Amino acid sequence: MENLRVEEAIEQLLMYTKAVQEAETVSLLSANGRILAEDMKAERDNPPFDRAPVDGYACKAEDLAGALPEKQVTLKVIREVDAGEYFDGTVQHGEAVRIMTGAAIPAGCNCCVRQENTDYGEDTVQIYKSMEQWEDYCFQGEDFKKGTVLLKKGTKLSFIEIGILASMGVAEVPVIRRARVAVLTTGDEVMKPGEELKLGKIYDCNQSLLAARLMDFGAELTRIDKIPDNPQDMAEAVREAAEVSDLIITTGAVSVGKKDIMHEVVRILGAQRIFWRLEMKPGMPTLFSVYEGTPMLSLSGNPFGAAVSVDLLIRPMIQKLTQDDTLRPVRKKCTLTNDFGKSVGGRRYVRAVTDGETVTIPTKIHSNGILSTMAGCNCLIEMQKGKTGSHAGEEAEVLLL
């Protein structure tokens, strides 16, 4: 298949992408950002006892009838209970227990009086306010009851869910294994950042760009490597990567030049070629193949093309692999604040900045080989084929990054 529309390409990509089924158990803090592999059910009530929500005195509401600032009620203080302590006695009429927030309320009490409404007494306490039964009183299981499913399988864990799991007493969490992705770049003209740049060479930005974005998506990088412009070398790298990866991403060497080796690599591997070329700019010379069940998406070597493709094409694949619904693309209709004069021969994606209501296109170079002008951009504008230009005030289709 050649010259597919973006929607058709994504359909093919997802058809050959299989959701990760394997689960693993990780420590509580390591589970942040991961996807639950099973329902999480409470094994006990929380709180596990009736609990004081205030600093003050636990007592019987009946003993406080008619209490006012000018008509105090005096109770005998029989014990102090701090948070973490437990008093197994029973409070009788005319008695009170000095209590701190979070402490277990002793038997016989049905309210807690805030210390601000008392004289802070130690042996006896004068109380200036009447109370209703169960006022300022937290019941056992008020947060959740034993047997309640608190978090469903497929939930993405954030700091809130981590806190809930901690309150359940969970120290290790069953989560879906991360998507394993290899990033292989090719091009004898590129060098690794940190190396002394030689004449005729450029630094490889695609590798770092793709790796960083894949980590944003929660992927585990199985291999990050630059391979020489040699079909046999790249084929061997793909073979090795396929043994440990759910997805292989390559950049460069997908067009029709002398050094565009990926077509030959597919032939050497005996991989199934699914499509080549898309009706989109940048990223038109995209090649998709499957090697022994492992999908391999080969992207253009243009930096902006790689930046567009990672969100437009790779993101849905990672979403399916990880079952992470937060990775689903988010699109909005926004109002353009400035003009963009270039005509659109095919569907085009333009870097831009949005505040959620309006969208602005940077007035700088928009070449596919230029990445620097994407700094600060948080979206792409999708322009449809045949459009002769865009103008301020028009509605634009925006893909949030």
| pLDDT for 344 beyond 70 | no
Average pLDDT along the chain: 94
CA 47 remoteness from chain centre: 29
pLDDT by residue (tens digit) across 103-132? 999 999 999 999 999 999 999 999 999 999
Enumerate the domain spans of the chain: 2-21+178-327, 29-45+145-176, 56-127, 331-400
Please tell me the predicted confidence (pLDDT) of residue 384. Answer: 86
pLDDT by residue (tens digit) across 179-225? 999 999 998 888 888 888 889 888 889 999 999 999 999 999 999 99
Q: Cα–Cα distances in Å, from 14 out to 85, 204, 264, 317, 398? A: 56, 28, 24, 6, 22
Contact at 8 Å (CB) between 371 and 304? Answer: yes
Report, as an integer, the average pLDDT of 307-332: 96
Q: Where residue 47 falls among pLDDT bands split at 50, 70, 90? A: very high
Query: 2-21+178-327: which CATH topology?
Result: Molybdenum Cofactor Biosythetic Enzyme; Chain A (3.40.980)
pLDDT by residue (tens digit) across 2-44? 999 999 999 999 999 999 999 999 999 999 999 999 999 999 9
Pairing of strands 358-360, 331-336: parallel
Contact at 8 Å (CB) between 326 and 259? Answer: no
For 235, the enclosing helix (H) or strand (E) is helix 231-242
Give the separation between CA 135 and CA 132, rounded to whole angstroms.
5
Provide the percentage of residues in the chain whose pLDDT is more than 90.
Answer: 84
| pLDDT for 401 beyond 90 | yes
Helix axes 315-322, 6-15, angle to 10 degrees: 30
Please tell me the predicted confidence (pLDDT) of residue 340. Answer: 85
18 Rama sector, left if φ>0, alpha if ψ -120 to 50, beta otherwise: beta
Q: Where residue 84 falls among pLDDT bands split at 50, 70, 90? A: very high
Contact at 8 Å (CB) between 333 and 396? Answer: yes
Give the separation between CA 302 and CA 325, rounded to whole angstroms.
29
CATH superfamily of 29-45+145-176: Molybdopterin biosynthesis moea protein, domain 2 (3.90.105.10)
Report whether CATH 1.10.287.10 matches the domain 56-127: no
The tokens for 203 are 């630094």
10: three-class secondary structure by DSSP: helix
pLDDT by residue (tens digit) across 247-289? 999 999 887 766 689 999 999 999 999 999 999 999 999 999 9
CATH number given to 331-400: 2.40.340.10
Nearest to 342 by CA among 266, 267, 282: 282
pLDDT by residue (tens digit) across 150-176? 999 999 999 999 999 999 999 999 999
Please tell me the predicted confidence (pLDDT) of residue 230. Answer: 93
The tokens for 270 are 């005996």
149: three-class secondary structure by DSSP: strand
The tokens for 45 are 């009530």
Nearest 5 degrees, angle CA 240-CA 241-CA 243? 70
Amino acid at 393: G
Amino acid at 224: I
Pairing of strands 287-291, 272-278: antiparallel
- How many alpha carbons fall within 13 Å on the CB side of residue 217? 31
Give the separation between CA 192 and CA 119, rounded to whole angstroms.
72
Provide the percentage of residues in the chain whose pLDDT is more than 70.
Answer: 99
